[in-house]
Structure 1
């Protein structure tokens, strides 16, 4: 598993997320662990390294 730290697009708190680098392209929704708002997460891995990551508000 790969742990990535980022800011919530709603409350701007620093949070972390565990991601599976064996899945090259990922897109899913996960709630913020601080404010509980839904975050759309889009990420890409290449050779088990994170090459792109975006966390955005739902509907934005």
Structure 2
């Protein structure tokens, strides 16, 4: 089921935004650990076929 959802998300051009990998409480971990979690989640997302999120121009 999950691969079908992932395929549909890509086909419909939705974006999956980045968040932490293990979902720790960010109030209880160091800045470096939070950054590591965010980077690892981004790497995982990109390795599974997602592109970096695009944001509308503020101009």
What TM-score results when the alignment is normalised by the length of structure 2? 0.24
- Please say which structure displays the higher CA radius of gyration: 2
Higher strand share: 1
Q: Which has the higher contact order (CA 8 A, sep 6+)?
A: 2
Higher helix share: 2
What TM-score results when the alignment is normalised by the length of structure 1? 0.24
